[in-house]
A and B are shown apart, each in its own frame.
Chain A
Amino acid sequence: MKKIGIKRASFMMFFLVMSMIFAAGCGKEPDKGGEIVLTSEADTTQPATEKETTTQTDTSTEETTTETVTETVTETTQETTEEVTETVTETTEYVEEVKAWDLLNNEPLNPTTSGYEELDRLIESYMTMLENEGTLTEGMSNYQKVHSIYVWFIKRITYNRGMNVDAGKYSTSDPATTPEEVLWATDLLNTYQGCCYNYSSAFMYIMRYLGYDAHLLSGQVSSYNGGTTPHCWVYVNLGGNPYTFDPDVDMNYYWRGVKEGSIEEKTDTLFCRRMEDMSYFYTIEKYHEN
């Protein structure tokens, strides 16, 4: 009898241990320890909503900035000689921002297409999408349109170097007969992802679509932690002079600012900067033909 009791107890103990293992295995939360499980419908809609809201807010911020800048310029003229000398530099920078408004609004427009069917169709669809989501509205000035698109690029496009490896991978265009600038732009507009080559070429063709004389540059740019990095950016001829636009680096500044908890939205650091003033930052190696 005693022997039978010990055997039963052994079975019971074994059963208990197995039950504990079973419970521990099934009770493990898959979203802990780097494993993720598909979530509910409500969770997945959130990112899109956030993106739309932030895009719309920015245009009004820009208008406020412009007014403040004008006041600053007026105030500096009433200060002492020494102080005036110091503020001249600041004033010059601020004047450029005011000029961006004038330059983009006053530039005569001559809209052109790339001549590549897929890209031109994508740009048409993209502009329609911006209108539908309210990023572009009727009554916007040309400056506001350009700036809204620029900020949309900064906030909405995801940086992904992989897009640059096989230009045209995300396109139906034939890589053998399509310039790489067109493929870079097409890849970005088909995926909303890319690196500097994709950001800049897509922005350039959109600027041309709007009527501006935009071109692509590549070379080196100062790296965040020293040295230089291969890079691609845009210049636009405005009032007879070239002005730099760099949505990729501004995306970098913007998201670094967000991560660091910056209150100020840094979206315009390299928006419409006089090209001759930017030689400390960029080394031009190639003027792209397309």
Chain B
Amino acid sequence: MKRFKKNTVIAALMAVMVVALAACTKKETADTFGYNNGSVLLTPGVKFNADAEGMPETTAYMEAASCYFDGLDKVFTYEGYEITTYPKEDGDYIQDVNISSETIKTDKGIGVGSTLDEVEASYGSDYTVSGKMYEYYQDNEKYMYFFILNDVVQYYGYGMDVK
């Protein structure tokens, strides 16, 4: 009987630990910077592969010789979002993930159609305003942004200053 109790306690502790571990993993994913399309996390500054597993077919594609970088600037348009890349020697890197779909929300429930007040309530007011872009910098170059016209979010996304 005593042994049964001890085993039960240990089993319960293990169960709690597994649940805690699962919660911990979920939190990390939610806080990770970038847009997760369900399969791929799209983060500015990270190498981009349009043919990677989990990337859907583009609805439009544009490339042009860069007037800043050595190589081609590319814009990949998908249903509900768009990815702009900049060239480096070893491939294309994400500069901007721009979300235009009303159904794609941030983990805090903000998206196209939200108001500035709602953005501030969720992300605070410590942003840099560039024209109508409200930019929440994560470090010296990467930021989450909301493009707000007439008090309503038109687009939001994840960008970086590429210099």
Q: Which residues of A contact B (CB under 8 A)?
A: 4, 8, 11, 14-15, 18-19, 21-22, 25-26, 28, 30-31, 34-39, 41, 43-48, 122, 158-162, 164-165, 169-170, 172, 188-193, 195-196, 221, 223-225, 229-231, 248-249, 251-252, 255, 258-259
- Which residues of B lie under 8 Å from residue A44 when comparing CB positions? 126-128, 136-137
**Contact: B20 with A161, CB < 8 Å?**
no
Could you list 29 examples of A-B contacts with CB < 8 Å? A4-B3, A15-B17, A21-B21, A22-B20, A22-B24, A30-B28, A34-B43, A35-B32, A38-B31, A38-B33, A38-B136, A44-B126, A45-B128, A46-B137, A160-B95, A160-B96, A160-B162, A161-B64, A161-B75, A162-B96, A165-B82, A170-B154, A190-B133, A190-B147, A191-B131, A192-B133, A224-B70, A248-B68, A252-B67
- Which residues of A lie under 8 Å from residue B131 when comparing CB positions? 122, 188-192
Q: At the interface, yes or no: B45 with Cβ under 8 Å from chain A?
A: yes
Question: What residue of chain B has the Cβ atom nearest to residue A163's Cβ?
Answer: B84
Question: What's the dominant secondary structure at chain B's contact region?
Answer: mixed
**Contact: A11 with B7, CB < 8 Å?**
yes
Query: B140 CB to closest chain A CB, in angstroms?
Result: 6
- Which residues of B lie under 8 Å from residue A259 when comparing CB positions? 163
Please report the C-alpha to C-alpha distance between residue A259 and residue B162 in the assembled complex, in whole angstroms.
12
Query: B142 CB to closest chain A CB, in angstroms?
Result: 6
Please report the C-alpha to C-alpha distance between residue A266 and residue B25 in the assembled complex, in whole angstroms.
48
**Contact: B96 with A230, CB < 8 Å?**
no
Q: At the interface, yes or no: B62 with Cβ under 8 Å from chain A?
A: yes
Question: What residue of chain B has the Cβ atom nearest to residue A49's Cβ?
Answer: B128
Determine which of A161, A193, A196, A230 lies in contact with B130 in the assembled complex, contact meaning CB atoms within 8 Å: A193
Query: A216 CB to closest chain B CB, in angstroms?
Result: 15
Please report the C-alpha to C-alpha distance between residue A184 and residue B66 in the assembled complex, in whole angstroms.
17
**Contact: B25 with A191, CB < 8 Å?**
no
Q: Which residues of B contact A (CB under 8 A)?
A: 3, 6-7, 10, 13-14, 17-18, 20-21, 24-25, 28, 31-33, 43, 45-46, 62, 64-68, 70, 73, 75, 77, 82, 84, 86, 95-96, 98, 123-124, 126-128, 130-133, 136-140, 142, 144, 147, 149-150, 154-155, 159, 161-163
Query: B49 CB to closest chain A CB, in angstroms?
Result: 15
**Contact: A225 with B70, CB < 8 Å?**
yes
- Which residues of B lie under 8 Å from residue A251 when comparing CB positions? 68
**Contact: A162 with B67, CB < 8 Å?**
no
Please report the C-alpha to C-alpha distance between residue A172 and residue B67 in the assembled complex, in whole angstroms.
27
Please report the C-alpha to C-alpha distance between residue A229 and residue B159 in the assembled complex, in whole angstroms.
25
Please report the C-alpha to C-alpha distance between residue A169 and residue B33 in the assembled complex, in whole angstroms.
24
Query: B72 CB to closest chain A CB, in angstroms?
Result: 9
Please report the C-alpha to C-alpha distance between residue A39 and residue B70 in the assembled complex, in whole angstroms.
32
- Given A22-B21, A28-B28, A172-B150, A39:B138 Cβ within 8 A: yes
Question: What residue of chain B has the Cβ atom nearest to residue A186's Cβ?
Answer: B131
Query: B64 CB to closest chain A CB, in angstroms?
Result: 6
20 further interface pairs, Cβ-Cβ under 8 Å (given A162-B95, A251-B68): A14-B14, A15-B14, A18-B21, A34-B45, A34-B46, A35-B33, A35-B43, A36-B32, A36-B43, A37-B33, A39-B139, A43-B139, A44-B126, A47-B137, A47-B161, A159-B68, A160-B84, A161-B64, A162-B75, A230-B67
- Which residues of B lie under 8 Å from residue A188 when comparing CB positions? 131
- Given A193-B130, A223-B65, A259-B163, A36:B142 Cβ within 8 A: yes
**Contact: B43 with A41, CB < 8 Å?**
no
**Contact: A25 with B21, CB < 8 Å?**
yes
Please report the C-alpha to C-alpha distance between residue A11 and residue B5 in the assembled complex, in whole angstroms.
13
- Which residues of B lie under 8 Å from residue A196 when comparing CB positions? 67
Question: What residue of chain A has the Cβ atom nearest to residue B98's Cβ?
Answer: A162
- Given A25-B21, A46-B140, A30:B10 Cβ within 8 A: no
**Contact: B84 with A18, CB < 8 Å?**
no
